[in-house]
Chain A
Amino acid sequence: DSGVTQTPKHLITATGQRVTLRCSPRSGDLSVYWYQQSLDQGLQFLIQYYNGEERAKGNILERFSAQQFPDLHSELNLSSLELGDSALYFCASSVVEGRGYTFGSGTRLTVV
């Protein structure tokens, strides 16, 4: 157990739908990062939050959004889902920005 908790572990949904993925960082970690892992693109950085504020954006689609709440948990919202959004979505957290990320076990999203 890495200390980073992601729910749900698996999610199957239809195209056009909207889903929310949840992440609880390790205790004491203020930074949360979201990554997408697909077979053809590998691990791609999506977005980062630090203590509730958005800090950096990577290859995140406009259909996707995220937020970090006062208790530091984060949610990644994926809308108007397409087949190509099927992937593993990982959350990671760190005490110090950019150092020693700890990843959760991921949410496997399947869009049918």
Chain B
Amino acid sequence: GESVGLHLPTLSVQEGDNSIINCAYSNSASDYFIWYKQESGKGPQFIIDIRSNMDKRQGQRVTVLLNKTVKHLSLQIAATQPGDSAVYFCAENPQDYSGGGADGLTFGKGTHLIIQP
């Protein structure tokens, strides 16, 4: 079936640098994407989302970019801090909820972001 994947299982960055975590998806019908952060022993924490009618969305220190042409999603974290150390998952949902209907998210396998001092 369709799946969402990540390019790298581990990403190591220096504290203070910008981090870029990439994700490739294969379901062209997906209209909604979410990035989650999961720290050890905790549940996934919502970071930022984006709908397919947008190509960029910014939050606090985070930016999500969506390239529908090549089915690529990325998460940029500015000025990476030790507290950013976690596993990051992208997730997609092919359903448009404006008309009802529901389905679960399809998660990628995650990228472990390691912050070096």
Which A residues fall within an 8 A CB radius of B?
2, 4, 31, 33, 35, 42-48, 50, 55-56, 58, 90, 92, 96-106
Contact = CB atoms under 8 A, between A and B. Distances in A.
A22 B6 CA distance: 31
Interface of B: 32, 34, 36, 41-46, 49, 89, 91, 93, 95, 97, 100-110
27 contacts: A2-B43, A35-B104, A42-B107, A43-B89, A43-B107, A44-B107, A45-B106, A46-B104, A47-B104, A48-B102, A50-B102, A56-B102, A97-B97, A97-B100, A97-B102, A98-B93, A98-B97, A98-B103, A98-B105, A99-B97, A100-B46, A101-B34, A103-B36, A104-B43, A105-B42, A105-B43, A106-B43
Given A45-B104, A98-B32, A101-B34, 13 more contacts: A42-B89, A42-B108, A44-B107, A50-B102, A55-B102, A56-B102, A90-B44, A97-B97, A99-B97, A104-B43, A105-B41, A105-B42, A106-B42
